[in-house]
C-alpha cells in the first residue's frame, strides 16, 4: 500500500493510501471529535448507462440501475446490513447521484466493527429475482415522491431540455417503466464492472487511528484484479434542445432554473474553472452583488434564490434557481448583467469581498466529520487534493476570473419553469 500525506492550511491534514487492488483510501483524523464518518464509494452513478470492460462488448443498461443496485446491496443471504448496524448503534445510509454511489455510516462507538460491516456488505452482492421484484415496489414509491417535488422536477426539466444525449438528462432513480426492466443478471453485470476496487474509494473522517484503520481495510478486502472500465463520451457539444420549458404543478408561486450550457469535450472541468466560475456566479448575482439587490427590490426574487456551477463527467452548466413571479424577467436581467460585466469588467472591491466569502465557506466545510468526509469524496471522485480549492482561492486575481465570463453563453441557455395550476 502506498501512502501520501497532505497537509492542510487549517492545522489538519489527511492521508491518501492506495491499495494494490487500486482502491484509494482517504483518512482525516479529527481526534477532538466524538464521532466518525465513513463512506465506501464507487465512481458509478446514474450517468453510467453505457459502458464496457476493456476487451469486452459495450453494454447498455436501463435508466436508474445504479440507484437500484444501491438499494439492493444492503441485502445479503443472511439478512440485511441495516440489522447488522443495528447491533452496533451506528447510523447507516447510502446515496446515488449522477457520478457516484456511496455507502456510509456515522457512529460514536465501535468504529472498527462498523467499518468491518461496511466493507463486508459492499463486497457481498446478493441479488435474486424475488428480491429484485420486491424492491421495484418500494423504489416505485420513491420515484412518485420525486415526481411530486417541484424543486426536483424543475431541475430535471431543465437538464432534459439542455442535453440530447448525455444521461445527466435522466432521473437518478429512473422511471417506473425503466426499473421494471432490471433483473438480477443486469445488477451483477453492473456490480462486477463498477464495484471493482480499482474504481472505488473509502473516505473516513473522525476520531480514529489511521494505522489500525488501514490494517483493518487491508484484511477485509477480498481478492480482486484491477480492470479498465471503458466509458463512452456523449456527443452533446451543441445547442440546447429547447430554450424554454414549463410544467404546471400544485404550487402557489412559480419556481425556475436557468441553466447556461457549457460545452466540454470529455471528462471533468478543472478545479480552477470550478472555483473561478463559482466566484463569477457570486459576482453576477450573489447576495452582495448589485443585481441581487435590484432583483429583491423589484420583488423578483426571494431568499430561495441561489446559484451553482453544476459539473460532472462530460457536463457543465452554470445554474441560477429560485422562486419568482416573473422568471423570464429574472433570466433576462441575469443575461444583461453578464453582458455588462463582459464589457465593463469586474468591480475589484466586490471581487475581494466574494473571495473572502468563498474562502470562509471552504473553511466551514471542515466543521463537522460529515463535511470533512464529503470533501474527501469530492477529491476522490474528481482526482484532486481537497486543499487545492483553498490554495486557488488565496491566489486567484480579478483579472484571471474575467476570462471565464466567456464561458457564459447567453445564446445557449435553458429556462425551466414550474407554474401554478391556476395560470393554465
Partner 1 sequence: MSYTVNSLASGVDGYFIENSRFNTTLISFNFYLPLNRDTVAQNALLPFVLTTCSKDYPEFSDLNFKLSKLYGAELIAVSEKVGDFQLLKIGISVISDKYTLDNEELTSQAIELLLGLIFKPAVESGEFKANDVEREKRKAIEHILGELAEKRTYAKGRLIEEMYKNDPYGTSKCGTVEAVEKIDGKALYDTWENMLKTAYVRVNVISSELPAGLFDKVSNTFLKIDRKDVTDFTRTVPTKVSLKVNRIDEEMNVSQGKLVMGFSSKLSGSDKDCAALTVMADILGGGPYSKLFLNVREKQRLCYYCAVRAVKVMGLLTVDSGVCKENMEKTEQAISEQLKAMQNGEISDLEFNSSMKAILDSFKTYNDSQNLLDTWYSIKIADKKPITPEELSDIISKVKKEDITDAARGIKLHTVYRLIPEQKEAL
Q: Binder to partner 1 among 230, 273, 308, 357 (CB under 8 A)?
A: 357
**Closest approach of Cβ 232 to partner 1, in Å?**
31
**Closest approach of Cβ 283 to partner 1, in Å?**
11
**Closest approach of Cβ 389 to partner 1, in Å?**
14
Return the CA Rg of the chain.
23
Give Dmax (Cα) for the chain.
66
Would strands 413-420 and 255-261 be described as parallel, antiparallel, or unpaired?
antiparallel
Q: What are phi and psi of 19, to 5 degrees?
A: -80, 160
Q: Binder to partner 1 among 56, 58, 112, 145 (CB under 8 A)?
A: 145
Q: Binder to partner 1 among 1, 4, 10, 226 (CB under 8 A)?
A: 10
Q: What are phi and psi of 338, to 5 degrees?
A: -60, -45
- Nearest to partner 1 of 227, 369 (CB atom): 369
**Closest approach of Cβ 197 to partner 1, in Å?**
26
Question: Hey, what's the cell of 128?
Answer: 435474486
Residue with cell 429484485: 132
**216: number of Cβ within 10 Å:** 17
Q: Which of 24, 29, 63, 70 is catalytic?
A: 70
- Map residues 163-202 to x or -, x wherever contact with partner 1 holds by CB under 8 A: -------------x--------------------------
Applying CB under 8 A, the span of 43-51, 147-155, 266-274, 381-389 interacting with partner 1 comes to 147-155
Q: Please report whether residue 323 would count as binding partner 1 according to CB under 8 A.
A: yes
Nearest to 231 by CA among 44, 64, 102, 40: 44
**Closest approach of Cβ 255 to partner 1, in Å?**
7
Q: Please report whether residue 131 would count as binding partner 1 according to CB under 8 A.
A: no
Q: Binder to partner 1 among 27, 102, 139, 208 (CB under 8 A)?
A: 139
**Closest approach of Cβ 383 to partner 1, in Å?**
26
Q: For the chain, percent helix, then strand, then coil, each to nearest 5?
A: 45, 20, 35
Q: Binder to partner 1 among 16, 19, 30, 166 (CB under 8 A)?
A: 30
Q: Please report whether residue 278 would count as binding partner 1 according to CB under 8 A.
A: no
Q: Please report whether residue 43 would count as binding partner 1 according to CB under 8 A.
A: no
How far does Cα 148 stand from its chain's mean position? Answer: 22
Q: Which of residues 58-87 bind partner 1 (CB under 8 A)?
A: 80, 82-83, 85-87
- Cα–Cα distance for residue pair 3/271, rounded to 1 Å: 23
Q: Binder to partner 1 among 69, 132, 280, 358 (CB under 8 A)?
A: 358
Q: Which of residues 100-119 bind partner 1 (CB under 8 A)?
A: 106-109
**Closest approach of Cβ 324 to partner 1, in Å?**
9
- Nearest to partner 1 of 107, 119 (CB atom): 107
- Nearest to partner 1 of 269, 350 (CB atom): 350
How far does Cα 201 stand from its chain's mean position? Answer: 15
Is the CB of residue 135 less than 8 Å from the CB of residue 10?
no
How far does Cα 373 stand from its chain's mean position? Answer: 14
Q: Please report whether residue 128 would count as binding partner 1 according to CB under 8 A.
A: no
Applying CB under 8 A, the span of 44-52, 159-167, 194-202, 348-356 interacting with partner 1 comes to 348-356
Q: Which helix (H) or strand (E) holds 20?
A: none
- Nearest to partner 1 of 57, 422 (CB atom): 422
Question: Hey, what's the cell of 63?
Answer: 435508466
Task: Return the beta strands (E) in 45-112 as ranges.
Answer: 50-53, 59-60, 91-96, 101-107
Residue with cell 471565464: 404
Count of positions (residues) in the chain: 424
- Cα–Cα distance for residue pair 333/327, rounded to 1 Å: 10
Q: Is 312 in a helix, a strand, or coil?
A: strand
- Cα–Cα distance for residue pair 197/38, rounded to 1 Å: 16
CB within 8 Å of 159: residues ≥ 6 apart: 168, 169, 259
Q: Active site includes 12? A: no
Residues in contact with partner 1, counted by CB under 8 A, come to a total of: 72
Q: Please report whether residue 340 would count as binding partner 1 according to CB under 8 A.
A: no
Applying CB under 8 A, the span of 21-29, 194-202, 233-241, 346-354 interacting with partner 1 comes to 346-354
Q: Please report whether residue 284 would count as binding partner 1 according to CB under 8 A.
A: no
Q: Which of residues 366-395 bind partner 1 (CB under 8 A)?
A: 366-369, 394
Q: How far is CA 193 from CA 39, 119, 281, in A?
A: 19, 17, 37
Residues that are catalytic: 70
Amino acid at each position: 500500500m502506498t501512502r501520501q500525506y497532505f497537509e492542510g492550511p487549517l492545522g489538519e491534514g489527511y492521508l491518501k493510501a492506495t491499495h494494490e487492488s487500486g482502491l484509494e483510501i482517504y483518512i482525516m483524523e479529527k481526534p477532538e471529535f466524538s464521532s466518525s464518518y465513513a463512506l465506501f464509494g464507487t465512481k458509478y452513478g446514474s450517468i453510467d448507462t453505457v459502458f464496457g470492460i476493456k476487451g469486452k462488448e459495450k453494454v447498455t443498461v436501463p435508466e436508474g440501475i445504479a440507484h437500484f443496485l444501491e438499494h439492493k446491496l444492503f441485502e445479503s443471504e443472511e439478512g440485511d446490513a441495516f440489522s447488522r448496524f443495528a447491533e452496533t448503534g451506528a447510523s447507516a445510509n447510502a446515496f446515488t447521484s449522477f457520478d457516484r454511489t456511496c455507502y456510509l455510516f456515522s457512529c460514536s462507538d465501535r468504529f472498527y466493527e462498523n467499518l468491518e460491516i461496511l466493507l463486508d456488505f459492499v463486497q457481498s452482492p446478493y441479488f435474486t429475482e424475488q428480491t429484485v421484484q420486491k424492491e421495484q415496489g418500494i423504489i416505485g414509491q420513491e420515484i412518485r415522491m420525486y415526481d411530486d417535488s417541484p424543486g426536483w422536477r424543475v431541475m430535471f426539466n431543465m437538464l432534459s431540455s439542455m442535453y440530447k444525449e448525455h444521461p445527466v438528462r435522466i432521473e437518478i432513480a429512473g422511471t417506473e417503466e425503466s426499473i421494471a426492466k432490471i433483473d438480477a443478471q443486469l445488477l451483477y453485470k453492473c456490480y462486477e464492472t463498477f464495484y471493482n476496487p480499482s474504481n472505488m474509494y473509502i473516505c473516513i473522517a473522525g476520531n480514529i487511528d489511521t494505522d489500525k484503520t488501514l490494517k483493518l481495510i487491508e484484511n477485509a478486502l477480498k481478492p480482486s484484479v484491477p480492470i479498465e472500465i471503458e466509458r463512452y463520451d456523449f456527443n452533446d457539444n451543441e445547442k440546447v434542445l429547447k430554450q424554454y420549458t414549463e410544467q404546471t404543478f400544485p404550487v402557489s408561486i412559480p419556481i425556475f432554473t436557468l441553466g447556461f450550457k457549457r460545452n466540454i469535450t470529455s471528462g471533468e472541468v478543472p478545479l480552477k474553472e470550478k472555483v473561478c466560475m463559482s466566484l463569477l456566479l457570486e459576482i453576477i448575482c450573489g447576495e452582495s452583488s448589485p443585481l441581487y439587490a435590484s432583483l429583491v427590490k423589484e420583488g423578483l426574487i426571494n431568499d430561495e434564490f441561489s446559484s451553482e456551477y453544476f459539473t460532472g463527467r462530460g457536463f457543465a452548466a452554470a445554474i441560477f434557481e429560485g422562486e419568482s413571479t416573473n422568471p423570464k424577467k429574472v433570466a433576462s436581467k441575469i443575461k444583461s448583467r453578464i453582458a455588462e460585466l463582459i464589457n465593463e469588467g469586474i468591480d475589484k472591491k466586490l471581487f475581494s469581498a466574494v473571495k473572502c466569502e468563498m474562502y470562509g465557506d471552504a473553511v466551514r466545510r471542515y466543521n463537522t466529520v460529515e463535511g470533512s468526509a464529503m470533501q474527501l469524496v469530492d477529491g476522490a471522485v474528481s482526482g484532486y487534493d481537497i486543499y487545492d480549492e483553498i490554495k486557488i482561492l488565496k491566489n486567484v486575481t480579478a483579472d484571471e476570473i474575467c476570462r471565464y465570463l466567456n464561458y457564459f453563453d447567453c445564446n445557449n441557455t435553458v429556462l425551466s419553469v414550474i407554474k401554478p395550476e391556476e395560470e393554465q
